């Protein structure tokens, strides 16, 4: 790894020049006087060329500038941090800190078409996020003025620029920030590589359109819905947001295998918990339980596991002194729990999160729990 780091060039390639060189290799007749003859290129493409007067696509103020930001070479370089690194000569892991647009450009040489999976968690553009205009040619003072980071007397307010909803180019600023980074990220993926991007409702529609353009609509895999909040804020009278999106695209879907792996064997006992279920209260009798807990009193209230202990529980020698109730997202009803106990099932609770674990007698051969 150390050799690759030290071999990083002082300036990256000019992507515009590289693209022109590739066109010259494929179609030398479109090059005239060292420039691309666009009209000749249209003639060769014939019916595959789009009508520029009317065409479908996503457009916003600053899109051309965002494209240039991806194409322009960078003079940035990586500087090894030996002091804070561990096992520098043998590790296969790299942690890079810096402006992500510049870092993506630096990685183009050594990691082009070598990365299997990329995950991005960008600013969600909620009005509280910080979006950085890619404007490196201007001086620092001009940049700070442009991004609204100076007070009236010219002193810096903050190290970042806030993209508030009052900005007339609210969506445009966010799209211009994302566009060049996505184009460069795509270059790093292997032919069977995939990218995952987290986003909320503010920009999911625009992000889909940008990804369709960068990766191609045919390479869209899925919009996964992540239930990120089981207890959404009740203050809104219109809606309560409790989910986010994770968009997935392939570099080339034709080369992509299955994204569903083999089910990992459960270590120990499977839990009754299932996050997609509604909250249910289950009552437990002491004789049903094996409590692997230290002797003592456990107060009622919500546990870190997501369960709520509705009664105080006293434990002596692994036994509860009285019945108690648990509220949580479980796959069993009270009736089914009692039926399983009557058939000989024991319920194990291993920690103060009070997660209920049935013993293996009620688990089928595939490792699945019965659901009711």
What is the domain partition of the chain in residue ranges?
2-127+163-255, 279-362
pLDDT of residue 258: 80
pLDDT of residue 305: 83
| CATH (residue range 2-127+163-255) | 3.40.50
Q: What is the pTM of this model?
A: 0.59
* Other Cβ atoms closer than 10 A to 149: 16
pLDDT of residue 49: 76
Contacts of 251 (CB under 8 A, 6+ apart): 186, 189, 190, 191, 192, 193, 194, 195, 215, 219
pLDDT of residue 226: 85
Q: What are phi and psi of 263, to 5 degrees?
A: -70, 130
pLDDT of residue 265: 39
For the chain, the first-to-last Cα distance in angstroms comes to 53
pLDDT of residue 371: 41
Residues of the chain with pLDDT under 50: 2, 6, 135-140, 142-144, 146-147, 159-160, 262-269, 361-372
pLDDT of residue 132: 53
Question: In this predicted model, what pLDDT tens digit does every residue of 16-48 receive, in sequence order?
Answer: 677 778 888 888 888 888 788 888 888 888 777
């Amino acid at each position: 790894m150390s050799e690759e780091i030290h071999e990083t060039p002082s300036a990256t390639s000019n992507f515009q020049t590289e693209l022109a060189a590739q066109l010259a290799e494929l179609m030398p007749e479109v090059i005239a006087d060292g420039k691309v003859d666009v009209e000749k290129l249209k003639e060769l493409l014939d019916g595959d060329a789009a009508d520029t007067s009317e065409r479908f696509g996503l457009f916003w103020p600053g899109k051309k500038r965002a494209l240039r930001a991806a194409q322009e070479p960078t003079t940035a370089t990586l500087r090894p941090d030996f002091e804070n690194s561990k096992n520098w000569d043998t590790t296969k892991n790299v942690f890079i800190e810096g402006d992500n647009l510049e870092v993506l450009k630096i990685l183009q040489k050594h990691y082009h078409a070598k990365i299997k999976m990329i995950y991005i968690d960008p600013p969600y553009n909620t009005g509280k996020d910080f979006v950085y205009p890619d404007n490196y040619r201007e001086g620092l003072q001009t940049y700070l003025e442009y991004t609204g980071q100076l007070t009236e007397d010219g002193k810096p307010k903050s190290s970042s620029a806030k993209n508030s909803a009052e900005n007339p180019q609210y969506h445009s600023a966010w799209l211009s920030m994302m566009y060049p980074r996505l184009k460069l990220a795509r270059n790093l993926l292997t032919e069977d590589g995939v990218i995952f991007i987290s986003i909320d409702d503010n920009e999911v529609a625009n992000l889909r359109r940008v990804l369709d353009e960068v990766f191609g609509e045919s390479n869209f895999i899925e919009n996964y819905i992540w239930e990120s909040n089981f207890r959404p804020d009740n203050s809104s009278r219109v809606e309560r947001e409790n989910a986010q999106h994770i968009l997935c695209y392939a570099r080339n879907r034709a080369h992509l295998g299955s994204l569903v792996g083999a089910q990992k064997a459960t270590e120990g006992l499977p839990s009754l918990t299932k996050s997609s279920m509604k909250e249910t209260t289950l009552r437990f009798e002491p004789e049903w339980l094996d409590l692997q807990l230290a002797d003592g009193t456990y107060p009622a209230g919500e546990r870190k596991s997501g369960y709520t202990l509705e009664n105080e529980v006293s434990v002596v020698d692994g036994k509860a002194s009285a019945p108690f109730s648990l509220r949580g997202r479980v796959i069993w009803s009270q009736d089914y729990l009692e039926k399983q106990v009557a058939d000989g099932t024991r319920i194990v609770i291993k920690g103060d999160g009070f997660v209920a674990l049935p013993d293996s007698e009620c688990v089928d051969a595939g490792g699945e729990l019965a659901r009711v």
